[in-house]
Amino acid sequence: MATYRTLTVPLALLLSLAAHASAADSLPLQQWIKQAETILRGDTSAAIMSMKIKKEAYQREYDLMVLTDDRAESSKVLIKMLGPALWRGNATVKVDDKISFYDPRNSRVTVMGSSMLGDNWMGSHFSNDDLMRETDLSRHYDYQLLQQQTGQEEGIGAVRHYTIKLSPKPTAPVAWGKVVYQLYLDGQQRAYPKQLDYFQRADDAQAARTLSYSALKAMDGKTVPTRMTMLLPAKRGEFTEIEYRKLKFNVKVSAENFGERALQ
């Protein structure tokens, strides 16, 4: 009898672990990340937002207008500065893989090279890549579920939290060696972003920066996080915060909205 128990207990444990691994593998992690990444965009969108930058050397605040078109695999993005007066009219546009800057002071359009993707956008803690969405987390990374648990989110109620490790695919043109993505699902299985930790290398213990989403509100009939905050753990007290003030989904846009005329 003792021999029988010694054999069956490990077998039951192995079966349980195998079932758990199979269930985790079957979760649509890529689909959830895609949903979370586009929750503030939809097929097309138009937004008015504010950006607050706090650094040791300076503080700045911008008002921005943002248009997006994600109907094709390669998205289009236009960011135009509405204020303050010193920066009004500055614009950044992405069409396919081409990203251009417009400076109204000299009416000059500059095409950005790939080496500039990691540069800070207008002195903020967000990079050109963050705002232009050249990197596609759902397409350029592989996924591993690290943790799942139930919880509560204000404005939604009961949710299911997931922590997912993203590892870059071998040929992916990405800057981060690892991303730890926290998201949650509501009762209708809608995915919301919670927090992203970006690591320079896959074996780093400390994240180089952290992006969090908060302030859930109803905008254009859809509950979305309206605040994005980027922090750098190595630079305490510094941050860049983006606050959505207005947001419309499925607006009418065309190629002309992202052409050189739109920059001027």
Distance of CA 260 to the CA centre of its chain: 26
* pLDDT per residue as tens digits for the range 14-34: 444 444 444 445 699 999 999
* pLDDT per residue as tens digits for the range 214-254: 999 999 999 999 999 999 999 999 999 999 999 999 999 99
Tokens, residue 100: 């251009």
Round the average pLDDT of the chain to a whole number and report it: 88
pLDDT class for 8, splitting at 50, 70, 90?
A: very low
* pLDDT per residue as tens digits for the range 126-163: 998 899 876 789 889 999 999 999 999 988 999 999 99
* pLDDT per residue as tens digits for the range 99-134: 889 999 888 888 887 778 788 999 999 998 899 876
Residue 10: what pLDDT? Answer: 55
Tokens, residue 31: 């689909």
pTM for this one? 0.86
Domain locations in the chain as residue ranges: 29-263
Residue 118: what pLDDT? Answer: 81
Four-way CATH pick for 29-263: 2.50.20.10, 3.10.20.90, 3.40.50.2300, 1.10.3720.10: 2.50.20.10
Per DSSP, the residues of the chain read: -HHHHHHHHHHHHHHHHHHHHHHHHTS-HHHHHHHHHTTTT-SEEEEEEEEEEE-SS-EEEEEEEEEEE-SSSS-EEEEEEEESGGGTT-EEEEETTEEEEEETTTTEEEEPPGGGTTSBSTTSSSBHHHHHT-S-HHHHEEEEEEEEEEEEETTTEEEEEEEEEEEE-TT---S-SEEEEEEEE-TT--EEEEEEEEESSTT-SS-SEEEEEEEEEEETTEEEEEEEEEE-TTSTT-EEEEEEEEEEES----GGGGSHHHH-
